[in-house]
A and B are shown apart, each in its own frame.
Chain A
Amino acid sequence: MPDNKHFIVAALLAATSLPALGDDDTGRALYDANCGGCHQADGGGVPMMQPALIGSERANGEKGAVIDMILFGSEIIDPGMSDYNNEMPSFSHLSDQEIAELATYVRTHFDNDGGPVGPDDVRARRR
């Protein structure tokens, strides 16, 4: 994985003016615009409505778990099985880069230590 990450960062830096993946300001801005309204600005969530992202099992788990939630929303969880009463939409209209920024932000903030993900990880999970 480190090789892949270095390749992506290097490629981005070389080829575009996009900020390096995991840039806090970019991730934060995307989070505020797309996620913070429901998951709350501090990632604390709303009891019974929207899950907390702080110390979240999903955010500290496999890369695909967070990517899938952003790409497909709560439809990846069977209705009636969720502990939460609101529905999360799909954010598949965001670019691979944006979703990677978002997933990386969530996985490396709010006391999470899941590590970064890249646009290729996102691309691989689109369907």
Chain B
Amino acid sequence: MINKFFAAGLALAVIGLAPTALADEAVPAMAANAGLSLPAGFKATVFADGVGRARHMAVSPSGWVYAALMRPVKGFGAVAYHDDDGDGVADSSHYFAKGMRGTGMAIHNGHLYFSTDVSVIRWALPESGEPVSDPELIAHGFPQQRQHASKPFAFDDNGGLYVNVGAPSNSCMERMRQKGSPGMDPCPILEEFAGVWRFDADTPMQERKDATLYVTGVRNAMALDWNPYAGSLYLLQHGRDQLAEFFPEFYTVEDSAELPAEEFHKVAEGANVGWPYSYYDQRQHKRMQMPEYGGDGKKPAEREGQEPLIGFPGHWAPNDLLFRRTGTWPAHYRTGAFIAFHGSWNRAPEPQQGYRVVYVPMDAEGNITGDWETFANGFAGPGPIMSPRDAENRPTGLAEGPDGALYISSMQNDGRIYRVTYAGQ
């Protein structure tokens, strides 16, 4: 904070701007590529600022960008933007989804789908602007939750709708997040939560209890998408919190900053990702027994739980996953996975990390063909970020426009949507 004030004072002294011109939105707008670092040949603009708590997004064939809002703005839970003059900046905003708030947003079969914490609804997709038809309830029967309540979703290419139902829990302890409380065995949360349920994408009024449990043992998957090349669902699990806080005898604060991994999985029907009985240790390259279930940081997992494709560093918070479909951009980026990491809050006293978009190179069969790479960085501003509130922006959603532009939402501060394009070498 002191640094921030000092930097502001310095800027005032040097260029003599009025303080109001140094408001948060002014500084990044002046920076090249909206303050982001990108691979050579890519450009970024701030497509929309002051969006609110923007979460997942969808872009229509006519270029309208729809963003879900986790907190209502003027009483609305979603917003539509359009860039009328092609300068990479939205010219008009139209709020919709009155009285709601939510996370998921996607287009399927001529409809715009949106999820609140307890439902998935859809409207007929308009040619332009916000939806005007009455919303249609597609999936419901999700209990109200206090944690991991968001219902992000994805579509396959065969009429399936996949909805994440996060665990209202950290590690299925008998007494929620209380030091010394053991894990419940078997964990009853797995019956109704902690998995991905498959619904029919086009059938109204489906209840969660009648849907198919597609993947289990997932603590929370904010990031999930269908890989159209490999023909499979992929997701990232948010790993559990507070290892050192609850088990200082097994984990140092440094261990707890790095562990457990944020897990990237290819999941087939019936897959089990292992929560709450195990977690993945990316340093030992092993699935480990959860300490609430007798683990000690060294004991390998005793129960089922598939190995991830990648174990990302702990607490980076993968909040969206995108496989591109337009066939634009260089070949390197066509069939792999873009992942938006929201960034950590629980690596203290180590600096917080992860506020970036990464790319995982993959071939058309879904095989990982190289190390993951940072695609877009600089969202958080100058670090180190000791507390997440010091981050200026934090990626949370990804969407692809019909022209191949990549949209990245952030819900920190006033909320923002970036637009990244490939301009060539």
Contact = CB atoms under 8 A, between A and B. Distances in A.
Interface of A: 36-38, 40-42, 44-50, 52, 73-75, 79-80, 82-83, 85-91, 93
7 contacts: A40-B345, A47-B388, A73-B176, A74-B146, A79-B145, A87-B168, A87-B176
Nearest to A47: B389
A44 B71 contact: no
A89 B146 contact: no
A45 B150 CA distance: 20
Give 6 nearest A-B pairs by CB, closest first.
A87-B147, A46-B345, A87-B146, A89-B177, A79-B144, A89-B176
A85 B146 CA distance: 7
Nearest to A79: B144
Contacts of B245: 37
B411 A44 contact: no
Contact of B349 (A41, A44, A45): A41
Contacts of A38: 346
B144 A42 contact: no
Contacts of A79: 144-146, 149
Nearest to B117: A80
A121 to B, nearest CB: 23
B313 to A, nearest CB: 18
A46 B387 CA distance: 8
Contacts of B168: 87
B122 to A, nearest CB: 21
B3 to A, nearest CB: 14
Given A37-B242, A80-B144, A89 B387 contact: no
Interface residues of B, number: 29
Nearest to A36: B348
A95 to B, nearest CB: 15
Contacts of A85: 70, 147-150
Nearest to B390: A44
Contacts of B349: 41
Given A37-B346, A46-B389, A87-B168, A93 B147 contact: no
Contacts of B177: 87-89
Given A87-B168, A89-B177, 13 more contacts: A37-B242, A40-B345, A40-B389, A41-B349, A44-B389, A46-B345, A47-B389, A52-B389, A80-B118, A80-B149, A85-B150, A87-B147, A89-B176
Nearest to A91: B178
B175 A90 contact: yes
A26 B345 CA distance: 25
Contacts of B409: none
A91 to B, nearest CB: 8
Interface in B173-218: 175-178
A54 B424 CA distance: 47
A93 B174 CA distance: 14
Nearest to B180: A93
Interface in B393-425: 411-412
Nearest to A54: B389
B53 interface: yes
A80 B118 CA distance: 10
Contacts of B242: 37
Residue of B146, B168, B241, B348 most packed against chain A (CB within 10 A): B146
A48 B348 contact: no
Contacts of B147: 85-87
Contacts of B145: 79
Contacts of B388: 46-47, 49
Nearest to B348: A41
B100 to A, nearest CB: 11
A91 B180 CA distance: 12
A41 B344 CA distance: 15
B417 to A, nearest CB: 17
Contacts of B150: 85
Interface string B49-67: 0000100000000000000
A4 to B, nearest CB: 31
A3 B147 CA distance: 42
Contacts of B144: 79-80
A86 B388 CA distance: 15
